[in-house]
Amino acid sequence: MPATVILGAQWGDEGKGKLVDRLAEQATWVARFQGGNNAGHTVVLGEQVLKFHLLPSGITRKECNLILGDGMVIDPWVLNKELVDWKESSGEDPRGERLFISERAHIILPYHCYMDSLDKKIGTTGRGIGPTYADKINRIGLRFGDLSEVDGDLEWASSSSERMNASLEAAGSSERVSAESLLEDVKWICDNFSSSIAHTGLMLDNALKLGEHVILEGAQGCLLDIDQGTFPYVTSSVTSRGNSTHGAGIHPGHVEEVIGITKAYITRVGNGAMPTELLDEVGDHLGTVGHEFGTTTGRKRRCGWFDAVVMRHAHRINGFTGLALTKLDVLGGLDEINICVAYELDGQEIREMPSSASALARCKPIYITMPGFPSHSLTEWLGIAKKANEDSMGFKALPSAAQHYIKQLEVLVGVPCSSVGVGPDRDATIDRVD
């Protein structure tokens, strides 16, 4: 069975965790392929709300194996906290049993967090992601597969701490790293994770050859891609389809389905231009009804109308075979709904995103307007979704104006919607019926 890629199609926070959790019921493996604990994936199971930053969302399915892939940067202390919390709630510690860490994945050390905390421009999470990727590119990073080589190596620890302290001093930080603390950290990581470190790319390749279903779970979103996003207000990794297999250690021929996740509106956390951002009562409605606060940072998300320019860009980069539309319920109760179809830049209409951050900041959205549809409680939306799936009604169970809205988005982006989310619960998703 081919691999399925799940990607954020906007600026992240689109609802990847919920979709992966649903699809993992039929999967044998779920693998994260990039990013670190700057990601936040939320899964809602009835009254239980689970928030993951490093653990793949498939962890809720006990028969599903979990991979932290080659392209990730991993904070072992954050991972340990997530695993302790998971054991408290489920009674399971999956280390070495069904959770495996790539020997090629890089390690976030306290030094990286010290450096990241100095950011005043981009609006990063401060979790050490960028500095760890920088060390990776500079070929001086520490990988999980190298731990046994440096464990107890005072010469390595001394030279590494000297380099780190020189960088901290040059950057204006008062923090310092000692050789002794580095060795203690390495020993702690070895003691806690040596059973999980594996050649994960080979594991996934073998699974696919045996016909098992693999889900490749992305973090952040296409517009935060280091190459294809709104640079410099981006993350430090390639978040798009091209890195899904590379970051997992398998070849791209394994992939058949690529699902782009998008909200029925758009949000962004951190700095950078967002042409359709709403600073009025509608923006307040989206933020309040949609509970728009970052899973990782708790920061309030900026909200705006759906941006088809952004989505066409994401589709061109990723070649989506389907869209998973989330949070349609949040638009309920609005009299009118706008969709951005183009931008006005310096007096000219454009239909593609400019690469320049300053040019994007000057873009003014050009909208089409569609009628709104009624609001419902989350319980009512959940009932609508369950009935739609049980009776094979698909999107016809939705209000007619909501159906028209979905069709308009499909036309503008050029990709069919495979599912529509109408609430945070796992079952509050309506699958397409053709």
Tell me the per-residue pLDDT of 84-124, one tens digit each, with 9 for 90 and over.
999 998 999 999 999 999 999 999 999 999 999 887 776 67
pLDDT band of residue 21 (cuts 50, 70, 90) is: confident
Candidate CATH numbers 3.90.470.10, 3.50.50.60, 3.40.50.300, 3.90.170.10; the one for domain 262-431 = 3.90.170.10
DSSP string, 334-397: -SEEEEEEEEEETTEEESS--S-HHHHHH-EEEEEEEE------HHHHHHHHHHHHHTT-GGGG
Q: What is the pLDDT of residue 66?
A: 97
Task: Report helix, strand or coil for 64.
Answer: coil
What's the mean pLDDT when you consider all of the chain? 94
**Active-site residue, 434 included:** no
- The domains spanning 3-253 and 262-431 adopt the same CATH topology: no
> Which segment of 16-20, 396-400, 415-419 scores lowest on mean pLDDT?
16-20
CA atoms within 13 A on the CB side of 204: 36
Asked whether the predicted pLDDT for residue 162 surpasses 80, the reply is: yes
| Lowest mean per-residue pLDDT among 44-48, 51-55, 300-304, 310-314 | 44-48
Residue of 21, 41, 53, 285 marked active site: 41
Instruction: Choose the catalytic residue: 13, 75, 307, 425.
Output: 13
Angle at 18 between CA 128 and CA 279, to 5 degrees: 70
Report CA-CA distances (Å) from 133 to 147, 165, 177.
Answer: 18, 18, 19
Banded pLDDT at 178 (limits 50, 70, 90): very high
CATH number assigned to the domain with residue range 3-253, chosen from the 4 options 3.30.465.10, 3.40.440.10, 3.40.190.10, 3.90.1570.10: 3.40.440.10
The yes-or-no verdict on residue 44 having pLDDT over 90 is: no
13 is catalytic: yes
SS3 content of the chain, % helix, strand, coil (to 5): 40, 20, 40
Q: Where are the domains of the chain?
A: 3-253, 262-431
Question: Tokens 């389809």 appear where?
Answer: 241
